[in-house]
Amino acid sequence: MNQINIGTKIRELRKKKGITQEALAEAMSVSPQAVSKWESGLTYPDMAIIPLLAGYFEISLDVLFDFDLRAQKAKIEQIVADAGAYFYDDPLRYAETMKAALKDYPDNEILLERLIEAYRRLNENNEYGDVLMELCQKLLSESRDFARVCRMKELQAQICLQKNDYEQAKQILESLPDSVLLKNDAVAFNLKGKDKLNGAILSRCAHLQDLYRVCMEEGDAWFRMEEQNVTFRDFTPADYVPEALKAYRRGLAVLETFLIEGAVGQDQYLWAGMQTFHWGFYQRIAACQKRLGQTEECERSLDTAYRIVTTAWKDFDENRAYYMDPYNEYLTEIGLSEYAK
């Protein structure tokens, strides 16, 4: 993309219209400094603003920009797709790829969010916490994508929690809207035929994942409540582990309902990462059973968890430690270290 030509074109159109940088900035809901940077070639408008500019000046995109917008989008999608091959195995390399791409496509929200996701994977010990907060804030200040804004706020809250700043995290999360109607939901409920079906499938997958994840979170909350020995509503501490067990079993039932029938091992899962939740549910169920004195049931659940972790990835034998380390670490965390393999 030729940034100088774009900036020159915006300046020409603005002057032809007889307006100031401040007036254009107000019309586009950006700062005057942003307009100044566009016109000087330091940056170019975000993808979401491009059609607004064209509409404001009453011209086509081809006239406004001397490039094919669809071609740029395709290039960015290809960059992300190619880098996806090493997102999980080498997130630092992935981050460097996104940073390099952002030099060619400054402020592109897709690339910026993928960079954030890479740093998020690298942030186990909060060493990238400040960088993540800064990048999230950049997206929050520039993005008009409602769902993306919600995701960035949630991530900021998670970073605050890593820093033990619970009140700040709570404040951020409470600023989120009560409900979010995402694109796939809207498509499923409003369109017809193939469009409706595709939207419904994508929406179902998203809600399915959210449902079993939140069941696990509910179970974890009940399980930890028992350790804290505090009261909650009409429940007593003696109720907490049985309630945790119920929540875990509900989540497991949701997950296993949607395993691909007739498939085995890795092929039975709808998406990567589902396997971890699968053995995770059985480990948690086992922990509840142990606390309830159900030793035989506990051991059967752990046998199932171990069978899942050893068969759910095709490269398990080559990368045994990679899969078994988190498996054993969580056993220790929930008081089942004697069952580590």
pLDDT given for residue 304 in this prediction: 97
Give Dmax (Cα) for the chain: 81
pLDDT given for residue 45 in this prediction: 84
pLDDT per position in the chain (341 positions), as tens? Answer: 444 467 778 888 898 889 999 999 999 999 999 999 888 877 878 878 888 898 888 887 767 765 556 677 888 999 999 999 999 889 999 999 999 999 888 878 999 999 999 999 998 888 889 999 999 999 998 887 888 888 898 899 889 988 899 889 888 888 877 655 556 777 788 778 888 898 888 888 888 888 999 999 999 999 998 777 778 888 888 899 999 999 999 999 999 998 998 898 999 998 888 999 999 999 999 999 999 999 999 999 999 999 999 999 999 999 999 999 999 999 999 999 999 98
pLDDT given for residue 2 in this prediction: 40
Nearest CA to 113 among 162, 81, 80, 159? 80
pLDDT given for residue 195 in this prediction: 85
Walk me through the domains of the chain, giving residue ranges and CATH numbers. 3-64 (1.10.260.40), 71-185 (1.25.40.10), 193-339 (1.25.40)
Burial class (CB in 10 A: 0-12, 13-18, 19+), 270: middle
Single-letter residue type at 217: E
pLDDT given for residue 1 in this prediction: 40
User: Would the pTM of this model clear 0.75, i.e. be above it?
Assistant: no
Question: Residue 117's Cα: distance from chain center in Å?
Answer: 7
Cβ neighbour number for residue 309 with a 10 Å cutoff: 24
